[in-house]
Structure 1
Amino acid sequence: MDRKIPKDVLLKEKRKRWIKYGTIILSSIVLIAVIISLLRDSISLKNIQLSSVDKGTIEVTVSASGKVMPAFEETVIAPIESRIMKVHKRAGDSVDVGTPLLQLDLQSIETDYRKMLDELQMRQYRIEQQRIKNSSTLSDMEMQLKVNDMQIDKMAVEVVNEKYLDSIGAGTTDKVREVEISYNVAKLEQEQAHKKFENDRKVADAELRVQELELEIFRKTLAETKRILEDAQIRSPRKAILTYINNQVGARVGQGTEVAILSDLSQFRIDGEIADSYGDRISVGSKAVVRIGSDELTGVVSNVTPLSKNGVIQFTVQLDDPDNQRLRSGLRTDVYVMNAVKEDVLRIDNGPYYSGQGTYELFVLNGGTLEKRKVQLGESNYQYVEVISGLEPGDRVVVSDMSRYRDKNKLKVSQ
């Protein structure tokens, strides 16, 4: 016959089970903590990158950001204010010299050009008319002067005759004097007429030259209008790739507005930017290294903007290999510009640990242990960092990211 188990026995058994389960759970937590602690205090050599301290040369560089740009790029602008009537090409198309790109509404400027052609002809007629008029007037004046000269010659003969008559008693002294006065007055009037003739001819020549000069100025204005009209056809000025075009048919474009961009995508340059605080370290002719992924391209700084814009100075790098296959327009790159050379200095490999000159805490391999050590680092380039103090030649230093171990002073090393 079954007996009922007392309550105190049941409670005792239940308490034993809870103690057993609690002990197992607590032991598991302690074991996991110990394992995590052991893992935290050790690291595999496979997971870190070591650099040996050596002596050598550092070509000191400053780092900047760069962007791959076509070596040649030309912007096509609208020479007049007009409206886009038709788009002939699309972005990405290859174009030759003279290829139509856009068609603008040219009715207004074509009308103005035809009016100017008519005005040019009218100005030419006016000059020819003025030339004929001047020639006729001056010819009449010249003929009148010849007639006057003949009359003066006649008066000179009369003076001689009157004097002869007076000498033989057939004339009078008053008559001789009267004839001489008339003769002298006629000579003075003729001299005045000659001067007037010369002045009138000079004035006529000056007026004609002024009109001819105005005509020449008008011809230049007409030629400029013709050039604008031809440019308004919006044709490609060279063989290139069309990288941008305003394809909004019906849209109005102002004079000087960018309507297309042509690029030579066979060769490239690098447009770099750097904080203006480093502007004194970049100059035209400085050597530069451009990193695209794992590839490195060399070149020289060919241009530096003299002014800072938003705290940034822009510069251009001319590449030694401008048609490298890794270059793509718009690709972002890292640019390192050399500004000094330091020889026979301690150095280690550059890495994510380095962010500029100063004091660092780096892990140094000592047997089977990594020990944290204070190290003074100096200038750098994209390959090496200068060691000022804290390390000796032959030391092996961790140059990979160790930020997760910043609170550790020692780490065990496992293979």
Structure 2
Amino acid sequence: MDIQVPKPIRQPFFKRHKSLGVIACLLMIWLLMQLDIGLATQLPRSDITIATVKAGALDIEVDAFGKLQSAQRHIITAASAGIVTEVVNKAGSVVEVGTVIAKMENPDLSLEFKRSQQQLIEAKADKLQLNLRQQRERLLEQSGLGELEGELATLSFRFQAQKNLADRGIISELSFLETQAQLGSLQTRVAHAKKRIEQLHALHLSATALAQEKVELARQEQALLAAKVAQLAIVAAEQGVIEVMPLELGARVERGAHVATIGSQHALKAELKVNQSQAANIQVGQWVKVFAAAQVLRGKVTRIDPVITAHNVIVEVSLVKLGDTELRPMQSIRASIVVDTIEDALYVRSPVGEVAKKATLYRVLEGGKTELVDVKFGQQSGRYIEIKSGLKVGDSVVISDLSSYAQQAQAVVIQ
């Protein structure tokens, strides 16, 4: 009797060699990955900019540029006409009170000043001569009065003596009456002489006052011209920085012309230029961050110029708590005007180039891979822009201009 032996069932190759199958799958995946990487555009990390999506309060800011201006300005005008002979300090120089800015000369004014000096000398000499003449006149009048008073005294004694003699009948009454008449006449002459002296004294006082007035007028004229000559040297009346100084050597300056503007270093304001397209969002009272060199200052909008100049609107900002900051008028600055605040906003640094309401960006994945995502933007704020949809907190996106790759849906790998 034949015994049937069952035939062995042959297992499929992959079932018999499971480990080999796993290895083959992994190898296939690796090959596909290498093929994908090989087809993707590879960009060095140093050539692109990557930003991270953040969440929080986003200040909607309008960027502006401008200069610091003095809130307290002192304008210097020419007190006298002249020709500039020396420029000592120019615009931008720091000056103290009394610092010479420029020097001028005016030959006509100098000649007029010398004439005024001569007129003052002559007025003083005239007054001195008047005093001497008055002294001589007073001496003559007093001498004449003295003689009359001497005669009057003598005649008075004679009158007394003759009166006694006339009473006793020793002399005739006619002689006595003659002496009495002479005495009365002499007394009248003495009274008139005293009256003349009083009138002469009053005339002398009046003449002296007039002469003194002429001296004072000459002195004032001389002092005025001396001041004008001194003002040919243009000096700073306030401490600060020269903001404007248009004078040049040889230039002729008319009286009253503007020669310099000095601005205070301690009372400053910001004068900003804002694009007219963004000016509608700015209002008086809004807070401003002013960046001056390494310093960040706070301020408030105080005035918005209604006139548009070269597509810009001038906005004035008062600065808060300057302290001992080393700032100067005409210093270039940039600023951010806070026009609104969005609470709990998603935002990221603005992509390079003009940003539309929608854009396709490369989101960075692990290993340097990227994927294209459609992002919807909201309001822009200076360097940042609000994200409405498409990204979440912590996402990293390429903000460099890769629009040429994105339009072709080109894969990008960042090395």
TM-score by length of 1: 0.53
| 8 Å CA contact 1:372, 1:410 repeated in 2 | no
CA contact (8 A) 2:243 2:330 kept: no
For residue 111 of structure 1, report the CA deviation from its aligned partner: 8.9
Q: Contact (CA 8 Å) 2:364, 2:396: kept in 1 or not? A: yes
Alpha-carbon contact 2:372-2:406 (below 8 Å) kept? no
Q: CA deviation at 1:273?
A: 0.4
Aligned to 2:318: 318
What are the equivalent positions in structure 2 for 1:45-56 lying under 5 Å apart?
45=45, 47-56=47-56
Counterpart residue type for residue 97 of structure 2: V
Unaligned runs of 5+ in 1: 1-34, 117-223
Match in the other structure for 1:161: none
Task: State yes or no: 1:358 paired with 2:357.
Answer: yes
> Post-superposition shift, 1:340?
1.0
Q: Secondary structure at the match of 2:59?
A: strand
Pair member with larger Rg: 2
Q: Is the 8 A contact 1:364 1:371 kept in 2?
A: yes
The root-mean-square deviation of aligned C-alpha atoms, in Å, is 4.5
Q: In the alignment, what sits opposite 2:339?
A: 339
Please give the TM-score of this superposition, normalised by the length of structure 2.
Answer: 0.53
CA distance in 1, matches of 2:258, 2:290: 31
Query: 1:336 offset after TM fit, Å?
Result: 1.4
Deviation per residue, 1:4-24 (Å, 9 max, x gap)? xxxxxxxxxxxxxxxxxxxxx
Cα distance, 1:240–1:39 mapped onto 2, change above 3 Å:
farther
Cα offsets for 1:261-285 (capped at 9, x unmatched): 3244567543210122322222232
Is contact 1:356–1:379 with CA below 8 Å preserved after alignment? no
CA distance in 2, matches of 1:64, 1:110: 52
CA shift for structure 1 position 339: 0.8
Q: Distance in 2 between matches of 1:80 and 1:38?
A: 83
Shift of residue 337, structure 1, vs aligned partner: 0.6
Aligned to 2:66: 66
2:397 and 2:362 mapped to 1: Cα distance?
Answer: 6
Change (3 A) 1:277 1:89: closer
Cα distance in 1, alignment partners of residues 89 and 326 from structure 2: 28
Equivalent pairs counted in the alignment come to 279
Q: Give, in angstroms, the shift of residue 240 of structure 1.
A: 2.3
**Residue 237 (structure 2) pairs with residue 237 (structure 1):** yes
Gap runs ≥5 in structure 2: 1-34, 117-223
1:154 aligned partner? none
Q: Which residue of 1 aligns with 2:371?
A: 371
**Residue pair 2:81, 2:253 contacting (<8 A) in 1 also:** yes
Distance 1:82 1:404, change over 3 A: farther
Report the CA distance between 1:102 and its aligned residue: 3.2
Q: Secondary structure at the match of 2:280?
A: helix
8 Å Cα contact 1:353-1:401 kept in structure 2 = yes
1:401–1:266 Cα change, 3 Å: farther
Counterpart residue type for residue 259 of structure 1: V
- Per the alignment, residue 301 of structure 1 pairs with 301
Change beyond 3 A, Cα 1:386–1:71: same
The structural deviation recorded for 1:46 is: 5.2
- Residues 103 and 51 (structure 1 numbering): CA distance in 2 closer, same or farther, change over 3 Å? closer
Is contact 1:371-1:409 (8 Å) kept?
no
Give the CA deviation at 1:386: 0.7
Instruction: Note the C-alpha offset of 1:238.
Output: 0.7
Q: Does 1:273 align with 2:261?
A: no
Shift of 1:289: 2.0
1:86-129 per-residue CA deviation (whole Å, 9 max, x = no partner) reads 5454555543323343344456678999999xxxxxxxxxxxxx
For the pair 1:42 / 2:42, whether they are aligned, the reply is yes
Aligned residue number for residue 286 of structure 1: 286
Question: Shift in Å at residue 338 of structure 1?
Answer: 0.8
SS at match of 1:298: strand
Q: In the aligned structure 2, how far is the partner of 1:85 from the partner of 1:399?
A: 59
Q: Which moved more, 1:338-347 or 1:324-333?
A: 324-333
Deviations, residues 121-178 of structure 1 (Å, cap 9, x unaligned): xxxxxxxxxxxxxxxxxxxxxxxxxxxxxxxxxxxxxxxxxxxxxxxxxxxxxxxxxx
Deviation at 1:60, TM superposition (A): 0.8
Change (3 A) 1:403 1:270: farther
Q: Indicate how the Cα distance of structure 1 residues 358 and 307 shifts in structure 2: closer, same or farther if over 3 A, else same.
A: same
User: Are the equivalent residues in 2 in contact too, given 1:50–1:396 (CA < 8 A)?
Assistant: yes
Alignment of 1:30-179 (within 5 A): 38=38, 41-45=41-45, 47-70=47-70, 72-79=72-79, 81-90=81-90, 93-105=93-105
- Relative to structure 1, the CA distance from residue 233 to residue 86 in structure 2 (aligned partners, 3 Å threshold; closer, same or farther) is same
Give the SS at the match of 2:284: coil
Partners of 2:39 and 2:69 in 1: how far apart? 49
Q: Kindly provide the CA deviation profile for residues 245-273 of structure 1, in whole angstroms up to 9, marking residues without a partner as x.
A: 45533311245543223244567543210
Whole-Å separation in 1 of the counterparts to 2:356 and 2:44: 29
Q: Percent identity?
A: 23
Quote the offset at 1:319 in angstroms: 3.5
Q: Deviations over 1:31-52 (max 9, x none)?
A: xxxx9x9597123445444333
Distance 1:257 1:404 in 2: 61
Which residue of 2 is the match for residue 380 of structure 1?
A: 380
